[in-house]
């Protein structure tokens, strides 16, 4: 934390789901766990605007919103409901409900945000359209994790599953980034390698969230 703070970079801590039964040892609750994350940054004097908390558990996001709105307002709800057809449908239908609960930033995998139209072009998905209509900000994941893009259709790659038919070569990664940035209107994009997104952002005059 001290090293990242010294470089004036932002923080993206994730509240991992505990692998032990909670409350741990009888008295350490899930809320105490999520509160401790906030407390660590507060004790270090880190401005909440530099901390992008993350969790796959909606209750964690709602707790942060209640306990410390300065942190909670930019907490990322990591949405893996989209991993099943039924979950995807529910996620699309519940966008306004999430916004009404105070959630401001939703963070699904890339494949949930993109689709292919009748002309074979990559376009925003129903999920992306619903999220924007509800006023939710979007930070998605993860780029540069899929190997050679010419193989994503054959391998049924997770991050390209919904639009793999439109991917022919590695350079199509820039099309993906461009549609996410310009048509979906994402706030940010997690990447396992920074070169592609940094080059794109610099060329397009985009800043960090």
- The model's pLDDT over 123-168, given as tens digits with 9 standing for 90+, comes to 999 999 999 999 999 999 999 999 999 999 999 999 999 999 999 9
Whether 64 and 91 share a structural domain: no
Whether 65 and 110 share a structural domain: no
Whether 142 and 39 share a structural domain: no
Q: Of 25, 59, 78, which marks where a domain is finished?
A: 78
Among 169, 163, 165, 166, which Cα is nearest to 147's? Answer: 169
Q: Which residue range is the domain that position 103 belongs to? A: 80-209
**Sequence-separated (6 or more) residues with CB below 8 Å from residue 101:** 62, 65
Q: What are phi and psi of 8, to 5 degrees?
A: 60, 35
Q: Residue 25: pLDDT above 90? A: no
Q: Of 23, 55, 78, which marks where a domain is finished?
A: 78
Among 169, 178, 168, 170, which Cα is nearest to 199's? Answer: 178
Q: Residue 23: pLDDT above 90? A: no
How much is the mean pLDDT over the chain? Answer: 95
Whether 144 and 195 share a structural domain: yes
Whether 101 and 201 share a structural domain: yes
- Residues pairing with 202 in the sheet: none
Whether 114 and 206 share a structural domain: yes
Q: Of 32, 50, 78, which marks where a domain is finished?
A: 78
Q: Which whole number is the average pLDDT over 12-31? A: 85
Q: Please indicate, yes or no, if residue 42 is contained in any of the structural domains.
A: yes
pTM of the model as a whole:
0.93
Q: What is the dihedral of CA 96, 98, 100, 104, to 10 degrees?
A: -110
């Amino acid at each position: 934390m001290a090293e990242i703070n010294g470089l004036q970079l932002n923080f993206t801590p994730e509240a991992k789901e505990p692998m032990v039964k909670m409350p741990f040892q009888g008295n350490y609750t899930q809320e105490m766990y999520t509160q401790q994350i906030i407390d660590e940054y507060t004790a270090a004097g880190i401005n909440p605007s530099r901390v992008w908390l993350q969790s796959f558990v909606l209750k964690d996001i709602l707790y942060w919103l209640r306990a410390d709105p300065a942190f909670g307002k930019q907490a990322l709800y990591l949405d893996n409901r989209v991993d099943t057809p039924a979950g995807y449908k529910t996620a699309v239908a519940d966008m306004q409900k999430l916004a009404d609960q105070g959630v401001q930033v939703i963070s699904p995998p890339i494949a949930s945000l993109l689709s292919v139209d009748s002309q074979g072009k990559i376009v925003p998905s129903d999920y992306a359209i619903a999220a924007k209509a509800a006023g939710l900000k979007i930070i998605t994941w993860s780029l540069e994790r899929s190997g050679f893009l010419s193989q994503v259709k054959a391998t049924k790659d997770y991050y390209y599953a919904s639009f793999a038919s439109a991917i022919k070569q590695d350079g199509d990664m820039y099309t993906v980034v461009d549609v996410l940035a310009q048509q979906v209107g994402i706030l940010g994009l997690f990447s396992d390698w920074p070169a592609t997104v940094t080059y794109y952002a610099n060329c397009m005059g985009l800043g960090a969230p």
